[in-house]
Structure 1
Amino acid sequence: MTMGASGVGSFDNDDAMDWVAELKGYADDSPIVDALNTVIDQADDYLEAPECFNAIAAAEVVAAQSGNPHEDCPEEIEVWVEGHPAPSATRVAQARQALEVILAESELKGLWKDSGGLDEWQGAMEELLSRLPY
């Protein structure tokens, strides 16, 4: 897999957009919890890029629920967020933890490092973290 086909943005890849498309079929936030926990639970293992993309998209939903959506937030997320309350402090903490795991060590980080786009990608992830209030 090369990173040339996708940008550093949270939604610049097919995995994230597939996850977003599936989210609208759920009334609850179980896909968000599942995506974040998949990454958190594998913190000591090798994290594959698709799980990273899904968790990043899930963290974007949490940020949008917190009133801090991405400037390129897909309409599907905006619509989903309208029908759901602000996230709990626990959910925000899970989103932050998942991002920190991905930033620490993951296939996705390795791919960005190999492509020479690591700094730009890390900047995009830091920007997302800044939209997840403590």
Structure 2
Amino acid sequence: MGTWSTESFGNDDALDWFGELQEAPSALPFIEETLTSGSTESVIAAGAVLAVLSGKDGADVHPDVIAWCAGKAAPPASLKQAAIDAIQAVIDDPEADGHDTWAELGEDDEDYLAWLANLKSIQARLR
């Protein structure tokens, strides 16, 4: 996996996932499946997409994502809660694939703290 920033779409996996989302026959079921069985990076990207679909984009969101979300229906509260929970599971498990990339930097590392802050920001935008 190529990772170049702490933002939601700052890695190859998240951008690949977004490409798959764009081709999915139905976005919300695809996102729901991602939240239960996707990689750490795709779970985070899915949460960011749901936040944008809810009208709450952030600095972590790729401009193409914002453009793709324009005019689409807001997700149901249950799906937003599923994303909050899935992101919390990532936060709570420093051994999870993807989280371990940042955790090995050390809990006081600036990039690790920025990555965690991004996850918490997505959760807040989903509430």
Does the TM-score normalized on the shorter chain lie above 0.5?
A: yes
Name segments (4+ residues, structure 1) moved above 4 Å: none
Checking the alignment, whether the CA contact within 8 Å between 1:7 and 1:13 is kept in structure 2 is: yes
Higher relative contact order (CA 8 A, sep 6+): 1
- Please list every run of 5 or more consecutive structure 2 residues that lacks an aligned counterpart in the other structure: none
Matches within 5 A, 1:43-122: 51-105=39-93, 106-116=96-106, 117-122=111-116
CA RMSD of aligned residues (A): 1.9
Q: Matched residues in 2 for 1:119 and 1:71: separation?
A: 16
1:12 maps onto 2:10 in alignment: yes
SS at match of 2:102: helix
Where structure 1 has 5 or more consecutive residues not aligned to the other structure, the ranges are 40-50
Amino acid at match of 2:98: L
TM-score, normalization by structure 1:
0.79
Q: How many residues align?
A: 120
- TM-score scaled by length of structure 2: 0.83
Superposition deviation, residue 10 in structure 1: 0.4
Counterpart code for 1:19: W
**Identity in percent:** 28
